Structure 1
Amino acid sequence: MFDALLTKEKQIAVIGLGYVGLPIALAFATRFRVVGFDINAERIAMLQRAEDPSREMPTEAFQDADITFTANPDDLQQAHFFVVAVPTPIDDYKVPDLKPLLRASEAIGRALKPDDYVVYESTVYPGCTEDDCLPLLEEHANLKLGVDFKLGYSPERINPGDKSRPLSSIRKVVAGNDAEAAQTIAEVYGSIITAGVYVAPTIKVAEAAKVIENIQRDLNISLMNELAIIFDKMGVDTQEVIKAASTKWNFLPFTPGLVGGHCIGIDPYYLLYKSRQLGYDPQVINSGRRINDGMPAFVATKLVQKLLQKDKDLRQTKVLVMGLTFKENVSDIRNSKVADLVRELMKYAINVHLVDPHASPNEVAQEYHMTLMDRPSSQYDAVIVAVGHDEYKILDIPYFKSLMNGAPILLDIKGLFQVDAEAGIDYWRL
């Protein structure tokens, strides 16, 4: 398989061309022939013009790439090595929504041929690849794993917005249904990953390794969020505490914040779901999720308290929220906890204005039914800097005061600014 891919006798297909799929597709296209497939025809049209809808990949990354972008599932018939990078979200009840993954498996099954490979990159609970996806592949292809085709898993490790760690510099974990599959998958990925490849002993181990990477971060941040709540009641600056504690070599300087996005805020629910199916209700993971999911309400309550202390009529107040994407310097608004913060403020009948230089107004309207303003207005009762975009880091206190009325309140969720007591502004940071 590897030699046939190198000589371009056979092709790779990447299914799902978002934050994960597009970088891997373009990286593969520097060595192999690639079919880039996505069900979103509008996205495909942009990619055909060498435009990344997520604004992560530069135009140069498309140049000289041996790739064909398509929304036609029939084009998958040309491929022999399939890489699945579709989203794995949760539903309104925080239960894993496998529909994109299962639909992709069905489409691949209809294109699957003897001796083909299928590798999943989407984040799932251990066992999902073999228990949920494999039966669909076999059913729609009328083929048998191990006899007719090979199966693998290689968890994505893309860090959106991080230009210092491109795909090739992040070591890749791979696994296959047998030793031959694992070796071939390692060769294919190893040809584009300069940091090297780690071969996990089983697909379940590789799946579990991915999901605990994000659970660990989720729990560390939840600890800092809980500490921030405690320290706030004590009148202690959490950021100063972290700075002092960081002087010890083995202290891990995690910081409090709003935990959203399509990884840290989602992946723990996949392991929670599977664990409960097996009769065990995780205590620590669930507690961390509960704390992090509760932070938008905590921040909203803090602002309401400050407004009331200044004798503000909440129904007459106007608040500016700066930043909606799930993290700094990206356009991705999926599972943004800033949206939850806005909803919490609106429960108090507060008039909320929302700006973000990276987010798409159309996507914000479609996803959250909220309006993204082109620029801030004036005479705000408070400003919340919710996301640490570079555009916000260069702002100063006089600028924020110019946006507000005579009793300015600034909530700095990311701790971007240093404010003196004499600055004439009611300043609070998480």
Structure 2
Amino acid sequence: MLNALRQKEKQIAVIGLGYVGLPIALEFAKQFRVVGFDNNPERVTMLQRSEDPSRQLQSDAFAGADIVFTDNPDDLKQAHFFVVAVPTPVDDYKVPDLKPLQRASETIGRALKPGDYVIYESTVYPGCTEDDCLPLLEQYSGLSLGNDFKLGYSPERINPGDKARTLPDILKVVSGNDTEAAQTIADVYGCIIRAGIYTAPTIKVAEAAKVIENVQRDLNISLMNELAIIFDKMGIDTQEVIKAASTKWNFLPFTPGLVGGHCIGVDPYYLLYKARQLGYDPQVINSGRRINDGMPAFVATKLVQMLLHRDKNPAQTKVLVMGLTFKENIADIRNSKVADLVRELTKYAINVHVVDPHASPNEVAHEYSMTLLDKPSSQYDAVIVAVGHDVYRTLDVSYFKSLMNEPPILLDLKGLYTIRKSDEIEYWRL
């Protein structure tokens, strides 16, 4: 397989061209022929113009890439090494939504040929690749695993917004349905990954390794969020506590915050779902999710208390929320907990304005039925800095005071600022 790919006698296909799939496709296309497939025609059109819809990659990232972007499933029949990088969200009831993964498996099944490889990168629960995806590949291809084609799983480790740890610089975990498959998959990925390859013994181990990466981060942040709630009741600054505790060599300086996005805020539900299927109800994981999901309500309640303390009727106030994306310096608004915070504020009849220099107003309107302003107005009763965008880090007290009525109230959810009592602004941070 590798030699045929190198000679460009065979092609790689990447299915799903979002934050994960596009960097993989372009990196492969530096050495191999690639078909980049996405079922969103508008996205494909932008990619054909060397424009990244996610606004993570510049146009020069497309230069010299041997890649064809398409939304036509028939074009996948030219490929022999399929990489699946579609979203794996949860529904309104926090149940894994496998529909994108199932559709991708059906589409690949129709294009699958003897000798082909299929590798999944989407984050799932252990067993999903073999129990949920494989049957669809076999059903729609009429082929059988082992005899006709190979299967693998290689968890994505893309970190949106991270310019230092790019795809080639992050060690890649791979796995296959047998030793030959695992070795071939390792060899192909090894052509683009400088950091090295780790071969997991089974597909399930690789799936489990990926999902617990984010479960661990979720639990660590939930601990800090719970501590922040406790310390707030004590009148203690959590950031100062973390700074003091960090002087010990083995303290891990996690920080509190809103946990959204398509990884940390979603992946634990995949493991919870699978565990419950097996008759076990996880206590620690579920508790961490409950705490993190409750943080928007905690922040909203804190603001209302501060407004009332300053004799401001919440129903007669106007509040500015700065930042809506799920993390700093990216355009991704999926599963934004800031959107949940805005909803919590509106329950108190607060008039909320939202700005974000990175988010798309059209996407915000479509996803959350919210209006994203081009810029703040004035006469706010409070400002909440919810996302640590670089453009927000340089703002000073005078800027915030210029936006607000007296007495000004600033909530800093990312701990970006150091405000003194002499600054004459009521300041609170997680």
Deviation at 1:188, TM superposition (A): 0.4
Q: Give the corresponding residue for 1:173.
A: 173
What letter corresponds to residue 22 of structure 1 in structure 2?
L
Q: Give the corresponding residue for 1:49.
A: 49
Alignment of 1:310-389 (within 5 A): 310-389=310-389
Q: Give the corresponding residue for 2:238.
A: 238
Equivalent-residue separation in structure 1 for 2:282 and 2:313 (angstroms): 43
Question: Helix, strand or coil: the match of 1:176?
Answer: coil
Q: Give the corresponding residue for 1:124.
A: 124
Q: Give the corresponding residue for 2:298.
A: 298
Deviation at 1:315, TM superposition (A): 1.4
Deviation at 1:413, TM superposition (A): 0.2
What letter corresponds to residue 191 of structure 2 in structure 1?
S
Question: Helix, strand or coil: the match of 1:315?
Answer: helix
Deviation at 1:154, TM superposition (A): 0.1
Question: Helix, strand or coil: the match of 2:193?
Answer: coil
What letter corresponds to residue 204 of structure 2 in structure 1?
K
Q: Establish whether residue 164 from structure 1 lines up as the match of residue 164 from structure 2.
A: yes
Deviation at 1:412, TM superposition (A): 0.1
Deviates more, 1:280-289 or 1:308-317: 308-317
Q: Establish whether residue 408 from structure 1 lines up as the match of residue 408 from structure 2.
A: yes
Deviation at 1:60, TM superposition (A): 1.1
Q: Give the corresponding residue for 1:146.
A: 146
Equivalent-residue separation in structure 2 for 1:233 and 1:91 (angstroms): 34
Q: Give the corresponding residue for 1:3.
A: 3
Give TM-score, length-normalised by structure 2: 1.00
Equivalent-residue separation in structure 1 for 2:352 and 2:74 (angstroms): 47
Q: Give the corresponding residue for 1:85.
A: 85
Runs of 4+ in structure 1 over 4 Å off: none
Deviation sequence 1:276-318 (CA, Å, 0-9, x none): 0000000000000000000000000000000011111211100
What letter corresponds to residue 128 of structure 1 in structure 2?
C
Question: Helix, strand or coil: the match of 2:151?
Answer: strand
Give TM-score, length-normalised by structure 1: 1.00
Q: Give the corresponding residue for 1:289.
A: 289
What letter corresponds to residue 407 of structure 2 in structure 1?
A
Equivalent-residue separation in structure 2 for 1:270 and 1:242 (angstroms): 31
Q: Establish whether residue 76 from structure 1 lines up as the match of residue 76 from structure 2.
A: yes
Alignment of 1:204-243 (within 5 A): 204-243=204-243
Deviation sequence 1:184-235 (CA, Å, 0-9, x none): 0000000000000000000000000000000000000000000000000000
Q: Give the corresponding residue for 2:38.
A: 38
Deviation at 1:419, TM superposition (A): 0.3
Deviation sequence 1:96-151 (CA, Å, 0-9, x none): 00000000000000000000000000000000000000000000000000000000
Deviation at 1:354, TM superposition (A): 0.2
Question: Helix, strand or coil: the match of 2:26?
Answer: helix
What letter corresponds to residue 288 of structure 2 in structure 1?
G
Q: Give the corresponding residue for 2:187.
A: 187
Deviation sequence 1:372-394 (CA, Å, 0-9, x none): 00000000000000000000001
Q: Give the corresponding residue for 1:108.
A: 108
Which sections of structure 1, spanning at least 5 residues, go unmatched? none
Alignment of 1:415-426 (within 5 A): 415-426=415-426
Deviation at 1:254, TM superposition (A): 0.3
Q: Give the corresponding residue for 1:393.
A: 393
Q: Establish whether residue 269 from structure 1 lines up as the match of residue 283 from structure 2.
A: no
Equivalent-residue separation in structure 1 for 2:74 and 2:128 (angstroms): 26
Question: Helix, strand or coil: the match of 2:175?
Answer: strand
Equivalent-residue separation in structure 2 for 1:184 and 1:60 (angstroms): 30
Question: Helix, strand or coil: the match of 1:35?
Answer: strand
Equivalent-residue separation in structure 2 for 1:163 and 1:400 (angstroms): 29
Deviation at 1:406, TM superposition (A): 1.2
Please, what is the CA RMSD of the aligned residues? 0.4
What letter corresponds to residue 95 of structure 1 in structure 2?
V
Deviation sequence 1:30-61 (CA, Å, 0-9, x none): 01000000000000000000000111111111
Equivalent-residue separation in structure 1 for 2:10 and 2:224 (angstroms): 50
Equivalent-residue separation in structure 2 for 1:277 and 1:57 (angstroms): 40
Equivalent-residue separation in structure 2 for 1:425 and 1:45 (angstroms): 48
Question: Helix, strand or coil: the match of 1:331?
Answer: coil
Which sections of structure 2, spanning at least 5 residues, go unmatched? none
What letter corresponds to residue 68 of structure 1 in structure 2?
V
Q: Give the corresponding residue for 1:67.
A: 67
Equivalent-residue separation in structure 2 for 1:229 and 1:244 (angstroms): 18
What letter corresponds to residue 358 of structure 1 in structure 2?
H
Equivalent-residue separation in structure 2 for 1:57 and 1:82 (angstroms): 22
Q: Give the corresponding residue for 2:197.
A: 197
Deviation at 1:72, TM superposition (A): 0.5
Q: Give the corresponding residue for 1:26.
A: 26
Q: Give the corresponding residue for 2:16.
A: 16
Question: Helix, strand or coil: the match of 1:80?
Answer: strand
How many percent of aligned residue pairs carry the same amino acid?
81
Equivalent-residue separation in structure 1 for 2:194 and 2:427 (angstroms): 46
Question: Helix, strand or coil: the match of 1:365?
Answer: helix
Q: Give the corresponding residue for 1:98.
A: 98
Equivalent-residue separation in structure 2 for 1:4 and 1:216 (angstroms): 40
